[in-house]
A and B are shown apart, each in its own frame.
Chain A
Amino acid sequence: MKKYKNILGFIPLLLALIMSCSNDDTQKVVNFTQISMQDEFDTDGTPNSSIWGYEIGTGANGWGNNELQYYTDRTENVTVQNGKLLITAREEDFNGSSYTSARLITKDLFEQRYGRFEARIKLPYGQGIWPAFWMLGADIDENSWPACGEIDIMEYRGQNPSVLIGSVHGPGYSGGEAISKEYTLENDRFDTGFHVFGIEWGPEYINYYVDDVLYNQITPEDVTGEWVFNKPFFILMNLAIGGNFVGSPNDETVFPQTMIVDYVRVYNN
């Protein structure tokens, strides 16, 4: 029922976005036009260390999801080449894990409250492949997950190469209870070309879009707990292997797999 209402609400929203990209005071659509952070990955080598740090290792219980990879900051797993950031998952024995990959994080380097956050990415594919472009509340050290909040701009299961998932997690609506919506790319897939994944986030709403399609809006009315998206968040990009969300790779999963990022841009107004 709720979904139905949402869909009806989106049609004018979508029209507004496509036709004018202008403010509409009844729909809470705001354009963020001032670049506040931008990485076009134009310099080959290691990613810009003034923007990106790394999380290394396996975290606790595979980063809380029983993920199988060991994250490193080695060139084999993360590098910039030909104007693109390459995050590559490999099948190899490494410090007790069967896979390696990378997780980039802007914690303590870049954080922002509200704005437009987008990245242009060509995704990898295959059973057990789990790339993500997402954000966590910057107060996570004092206010642990899920209370800090999480905004998943892009998640995707390599075994469903046409389906994008956008979600929020917060207190009372995390993990399997997250507020989430799938978007299916018709007659196309996310691993054969670049697509722009983004949100426009303002007070009391998060709009989710892919390319020129606005496919969801989440507001305080949609979440089944406290709305915690009113403070700065930092960005993460990673390519996970296995774990609860996707299941393990199988014999047919091709390695290595690379998530190719053309740019990450953040705007405010």
Chain B
Amino acid sequence: MENKKNNHFRFSLLFASIFAVFTSCEREISDEVEFATFPATGDIFTDDPIGLGTFFYFPYGPSPENPPGSKPTAWSVDNEVSYEGDASMRFDVPNADDPEGNFAGAIFRIDGEGSGRDLTGFDALTFWAKASQNVTINEMGFGEDFGENKYVTTRQNVPLTTNWVKYIIPIPDPSKLVRERGMFRYAAGSVNELGYTFWVDELRFEKLGTVAQPQPAIFSGQDLVQQTFNGSELNVTGITQTYNLANGVNQTVVAAPSYFTFSSSNPNAVQVSSLGEISVVGEGTAKVSALIAGVKAKGSLEITSTGNIVSAPTPQAPAAEVISLFSNQYDNVPVTTFRADFGNTEISDIAVNGDDFKLYSNLNFVGIQFPTIDATGKSSLFLDIYTNDVANGNFQVQVRDQGTNGELNTNIFTGQPIEDDAETRLDLSPSQLTPGQWITIEVPLTGGLTNQKSNISQIVFVGDIDFLMDNLYFR
């Protein structure tokens, strides 16, 4: 009830302000209409932290992927070292085996939920920095607030030297930053497991006036093509903004999706959220592109959905009998790569209604490689494939045992196994690949593998069809 009332109040306020705007030739907007404004302060650290409040330093801390996390005490104010004035920010990057944390990394966030700065008048975050040795800092930037992280901006691989140098991190689109709390962020790892120290001074947002000639990009500037199916979810990746600086350098930063406006040329087939999440909602073709501050980003993704997809039949084999490489039905063993790099095949992950598939497109010759599997006692490799293509020539599956010498040995001219490797191959003719339905392929571990299948480490697909693959396992 209260909520509703509140909405009503907002609505009338909106109306009032629209009215005020329409009539503003003669009148100022009413005093009762207050637009929130935030300080346009640029300085973050000169000799002390500026205007950040009491609690502003938040280390990344432990994460599931990296349990040791970042060392909480890596940052301090150094009163002995400074570029200007009498203090700088000091960052002690720990050794890789430091029990308190195996890297240094944190955000500097203005204290207080309602806080923030208006950064629309600036064009870059700048600072002076040096290090105890020549070193590359993995990430430095701003816009991370551990909330929406809406405008995270990161310059990667910042090359510090032992001399003070000024560094510039361009703001991808300043007009977006009407209220930003994430003033600074960094992440720095050890070098050859050893720590070091770096210093940052005179950290501030600035209007340089020389940040120009934007060259934004999505998908790393590539024009990509993707076949997929209704219900699949993809992301806009490779999102960057590049500005030319006064010294002629083109400085690229990794930019959060929210700086961009995404569009789909065919919303009946493909929709894109403001966070760059792509939803394939219907059959057809659509091109995903992006704009930032009126400039079209280089790169696009043309998506064709061939319609609804049905899941592959659920494998019936008991889990205890299979060694699975890729299936939602089983626990999977590790796979090093689904795209061993000897062809132009594109592979994408597709998830529809919680079921995962690998989509192979532009197939010619592609390998799946994995730590050796002992398939002794297994009779076959199984996989399910689904294609809409009419095959032109055979589709072939190769299964390779690498023997005991710890590596694959292949005649690079014939593709045949040499040294202690052994192999079996199965060819399927076009008539065996019925388009528009799931086909289960069984590759008997016979031929060269009859007596050698304890070190299987590679599966190869050869052919010219685009296909979905699921349920890849030995049984």
Interface residues of A (CB under 8 A from B): 125-127, 157-162, 186-189, 191-192, 252, 254
B246 touches A162 (CB 8 A): yes
Instruction: Determine which of A160, A188, A254 lies in contact with B248 in the assembled complex, contact meaning CB atoms within 8 Å.
Output: A160
Closest chain-A Cβ to B114's Cβ sits at a distance in Å of 33
Instruction: Determine which of A127, A157, A187, A252 lies in contact with B208 in the assembled complex, contact meaning CB atoms within 8 Å.
Output: A187
A187 touches B209 (CB 8 A): yes
Known pairs A161-B210, A189-B212, A254-B213; list 18 more (Cβ under 8 Å). A126-B244, A127-B248, A157-B248, A158-B248, A160-B246, A160-B248, A161-B246, A161-B248, A162-B210, A186-B209, A187-B209, A188-B210, A189-B209, A189-B246, A192-B212, A192-B213, A252-B250, A254-B215
Which residues of B lie under 8 Å from residue A187 when comparing CB positions?
Answer: 207-210
Across the interface, name the chain B residue whose C-beta is closest to A158: B248
Assembled-state Cα–Cα distance A61/B207 (Å): 43
Closest chain-A Cβ to B113's Cβ sits at a distance in Å of 35
Interface residues of B (CB under 8 A from A): 207-210, 212-213, 215, 244, 246-248, 250
B212 touches A161 (CB 8 A): yes
In order of increasing CB-CB distance, the 7 nearest A-B pairs are A159-B248, A187-B209, A192-B212, A188-B209, A162-B246, A252-B250, A189-B210
Which residues of A lie under 8 Å from residue B209 when comparing CB positions?
Answer: 186-189
Which residues of B lie under 8 Å from residue A254 when comparing CB positions?
Answer: 213, 215
Assembled-state Cα–Cα distance A187/B246 (Å): 9
Q: Can you list 26 A-B pairs with a CB-CB distance of less than 8 A? A: A125-B212, A125-B213, A125-B244, A126-B244, A127-B248, A157-B248, A159-B248, A161-B210, A161-B212, A161-B246, A161-B248, A162-B210, A162-B246, A187-B207, A187-B208, A187-B209, A187-B210, A188-B209, A188-B210, A189-B209, A189-B210, A189-B212, A189-B246, A191-B213, A254-B213, A254-B215
Which residues of B lie under 8 Å from residue A192 when comparing CB positions?
Answer: 212-213
Assembled-state Cα–Cα distance A167/B248 (Å): 22
Closest chain-B Cβ to A89's Cβ sits at a distance in Å of 15
Closest chain-A Cβ to B222's Cβ sits at a distance in Å of 15
Closest chain-A Cβ to B387's Cβ sits at a distance in Å of 39
Which residues of B lie under 8 Å from residue A189 when comparing CB positions?
Answer: 209-210, 212, 246
Assembled-state Cα–Cα distance A162/B210 (Å): 8
Which residues of A lie under 8 Å from residue B244 when comparing CB positions?
Answer: 125-126, 161
Across the interface, name the chain B residue whose C-beta is closest to A187: B209
Which residues of A lie under 8 Å from residue B246 when comparing CB positions?
Answer: 160-162, 189
Q: Most chain-B CB neighbours within 10 Å: which of A126, A127, A157, A161?
A: A161
Q: Most chain-A CB neighbours within 10 Å: which of B209, B215, B244, B250?
A: B244
Assembled-state Cα–Cα distance A60/B196 (Å): 55
Closest chain-B Cβ to A187's Cβ sits at a distance in Å of 3
Assembled-state Cα–Cα distance A127/B245 (Å): 12
Across the interface, name the chain A residue whose C-beta is closest to B210: A189
Closest chain-B Cβ to A225's Cβ sits at a distance in Å of 33
Which residues of B lie under 8 Å from residue A161 when comparing CB positions?
Answer: 210, 212, 244, 246, 248
Which residues of B lie under 8 Å from residue A157 when comparing CB positions?
Answer: 248
Closest chain-B Cβ to A189's Cβ sits at a distance in Å of 5
Which residues of B lie under 8 Å from residue A188 when comparing CB positions?
Answer: 209-210
Assembled-state Cα–Cα distance A188/B210 (Å): 5
Assembled-state Cα–Cα distance A159/B210 (Å): 12
Which residues of A lie under 8 Å from residue B212 when comparing CB positions?
Answer: 125, 161, 189, 191-192
Which residues of A lie under 8 Å from residue B250 when comparing CB positions?
Answer: 252
Assembled-state Cα–Cα distance A160/B212 (Å): 12
Closest chain-B Cβ to A64's Cβ sits at a distance in Å of 25
Closest chain-A Cβ to B261's Cβ sits at a distance in Å of 23
Across the interface, name the chain A residue whose C-beta is closest to B248: A159
Closest chain-B Cβ to A122's Cβ sits at a distance in Å of 12
Closest chain-B Cβ to A193's Cβ sits at a distance in Å of 10
Across the interface, name the chain B residue whose C-beta is closest to A188: B209
Which residues of A lie under 8 Å from residue B208 when comparing CB positions?
Answer: 187
Closest chain-B Cβ to A242's Cβ sits at a distance in Å of 15
Assembled-state Cα–Cα distance A160/B207 (Å): 18
Which residues of B lie under 8 Å from residue A186 when comparing CB positions?
Answer: 209
Assembled-state Cα–Cα distance A188/B212 (Å): 9
Closest chain-A Cβ to B170's Cβ sits at a distance in Å of 14
Closest chain-A Cβ to B156's Cβ sits at a distance in Å of 17
Assembled-state Cα–Cα distance A161/B244 (Å): 9
Assembled-state Cα–Cα distance A125/B246 (Å): 11
Assembled-state Cα–Cα distance A160/B249 (Å): 9
Closest chain-A Cβ to B243's Cβ sits at a distance in Å of 11
Across the interface, name the chain B residue whose C-beta is closest to A127: B248
Closest chain-B Cβ to A156's Cβ sits at a distance in Å of 12
Which residues of B lie under 8 Å from residue A252 when comparing CB positions?
Answer: 250
Across the interface, name the chain A residue whose C-beta is closest to B213: A125
Closest chain-A Cβ to B122's Cβ sits at a distance in Å of 12
Which residues of B lie under 8 Å from residue A127 when comparing CB positions?
Answer: 248
Across the interface, name the chain A residue whose C-beta is closest to B212: A192
Which residues of A lie under 8 Å from residue B207 when comparing CB positions?
Answer: 187
Closest chain-B Cβ to A247's Cβ sits at a distance in Å of 11
Which residues of B lie under 8 Å from residue A125 when comparing CB positions?
Answer: 212-213, 244
Assembled-state Cα–Cα distance A126/B215 (Å): 12
Closest chain-B Cβ to A230's Cβ sits at a distance in Å of 38
Closest chain-B Cβ to A33's Cβ sits at a distance in Å of 33
Which residues of B lie under 8 Å from residue A159 when comparing CB positions?
Answer: 248
Closest chain-A Cβ to B252's Cβ sits at a distance in Å of 10
Closest chain-A Cβ to B288's Cβ sits at a distance in Å of 23
Which residues of B lie under 8 Å from residue A158 when comparing CB positions?
Answer: 248
Assembled-state Cα–Cα distance A162/B244 (Å): 11
Closest chain-A Cβ to B242's Cβ sits at a distance in Å of 9
Assembled-state Cα–Cα distance A126/B249 (Å): 9
